[in-house]
Chain A
Amino acid sequence: KAGVTQTPRYLIKTRGQQVTLSCSPISGHRSVSWYQQTPGQGLQFLFEYFSETQRNKGNFPGRFSGRQFSNSRSEMNVSTLELGDSALYLCASTKGGKWATDTQYFGPGTRLTVL
């Protein structure tokens, strides 16, 4: 069974630009979560989508947004990029059942560099 895939794997942008990252969950998984990882802050939760609806949100500014499509694929968007947005962006998928005990499986991440 194919794992979680993320595209692109690497991205270089300049300040002020916007970026869209994509995540395809494991087949049959309906929940997709996004995380940001930086050396200073570690792994931090951005948001989670289930059945095309945002179900949980972390403490990030409104420049960070996401969406989920009917096939469970998800995108996250960062507008007006800042230098501090340089990070590894990870997505994880789970079956997304009624009780949140399913294991989350992570993708390889997208390395975003903002110049």
Chain B
Amino acid sequence: DAKTTQPTSMDCAEGRAANLPCNHSTISGNEYVYWYRQIHSQGPQYIIHGLKNNETNEMASLIITEDRKSSTLILPHATLRDTAVYYCIVRGAHQGGSEKLVFGKGTKLTVNP
């Protein structure tokens, strides 16, 4: 089962920031938070990941709370092309590998003109 909880859907106006929350209250110390998005019928696209510190890249920012029990993905200036399902995934570092990702249902973000 997925270790994360996300709202089913969210709306955002084009040009505004989109803030997508994720709860992962059972996260353990060596587990990372990953975000992917999937535009209809395409393969999931990696966005960003983090362990403890806030992270930023050209696509988004990831804010992780100090207790690491929740995080927020921020798309600073949402465009219509950001309409997608966004998945928050908790993933551990396991010696010996095992690359399994457990996807929940994600958040359907709709960016409106």
Chain A interface (Cβ < 8 Å from any Cβ of B): 4, 31, 33, 35, 42-45, 48, 50, 55-56, 58, 88, 90, 92, 94, 96-109, 111
Contacts and interface: CB of A to CB of B under 8 A. Distances in A.
B91 interface: yes
Interface string B25-64: 0000000101010000111111001000000000000000
Nearest to A56: B98
A108 B101 CA distance: 17
A80 to B, nearest CB: 25
Q: Chain B binding site: helix, strand, loop or mixed by DSSP?
A: loop
Interface string B71-111: 00000000000000001000111111111111111000000
Given A105-B46, A109-B43, A100 B99 contact: yes
B99 A31 contact: yes
Which of A35, A94, A100, A107 has the largest count of B CB atoms less than 10 A from its CB? Answer: A100
Q: Chain A binding site: helix, strand, loop or mixed by DSSP?
A: strand
B46 A104 contact: yes
Nearest to B51: A101
Interface of B: 32, 34, 36, 41-46, 49, 87, 91-105
A33 B32 CA distance: 19
Given A45-B100, A48-B99, A111 B41 contact: yes
B67 to A, nearest CB: 21
Contacts of A92: 43-44, 99, 101
A42 B93 contact: no
B46 A100 contact: no
A99 to B, nearest CB: 5
B38 to A, nearest CB: 8
Contacts of A102: 99
Contact of B44 (A50, A90, A96): A90
9 shortest interchain CB distances as A-B pairs: A106-B43, A43-B103, A56-B98, A101-B93, A106-B44, A45-B100, A99-B93, A100-B94, A108-B43
A106 B41 CA distance: 12
Which of B43, B95, B101 has the largest count of A CB atoms less than 10 A from its CB? Answer: B43
